[in-house]
Amino acid sequence: MKKNSAKSRSASRFAYDGLDRVIHERARLSVLTSLITHPLGLVFGELKQLCGLTDGNLNRHLQVLEESKLVSISKGLGGHRPKTHCRITALGRKRYIEYLGVLEQVILDADCAVKPGSPARSGHDPANA
């Protein structure tokens, strides 16, 4: 049984099951990368600017991330109006780091095909030679 299971994993070696859809979506990857590089958190306006998102889009993606417990959101007073403060949670960091490991695997897998000077990187396909 173990042998079959290992064979099945090896057969699907480009499946990348670890590319969690909650994190992989471009805008949410953008939000999480902004937040993991700012461990003290960011206010809504800063996050919006760093990710190049509209208010509506950022709100929608923050809701998904909060429901998945990857980001925590708190409201507080900052100056004259309430400020929304966003932080990545411990679970968010853990899941983001796991996700990053899979991204690194994609790059490693593609590396031999696309490294400088290789047929793929130079646009030459040996199959056409």
Within 10 angstroms of residue 119's Cβ, the number of other Cβ atoms is 14
Q: How far apart are CA 92 and CA 115, in angstroms?
A: 32
Residue 82's SS3 state is strand
Shortest reach from residue 41's CB to a copy of itself, in Å: 7
Q: Which stretch binds a copy of itself (CB under 8 A): 33-41, 56-64, 69-77?
A: 33-41
13-44 per-residue burial string, b: 16 or more CB within 10 A, e: under 16? eeeeebebebbeeebbbbbbbbbeeeeebbeb
Choice between 53 and 70, CB closer to a copy of itself = 53
Site mask for a copy of itself (CB under 8 A), range 97-116, x = bound: x--x--xx-xx-xx-xxx--
- Where do contacts with a copy of itself occur on this chain (CB under 8 A)? 11-17, 19, 21, 24, 26, 29-31, 33-34, 36-37, 39-41, 49-53, 87, 90, 93-94, 96-97, 100, 103-104, 106-107, 109-110, 112-114, 119-121, 123, 125-127
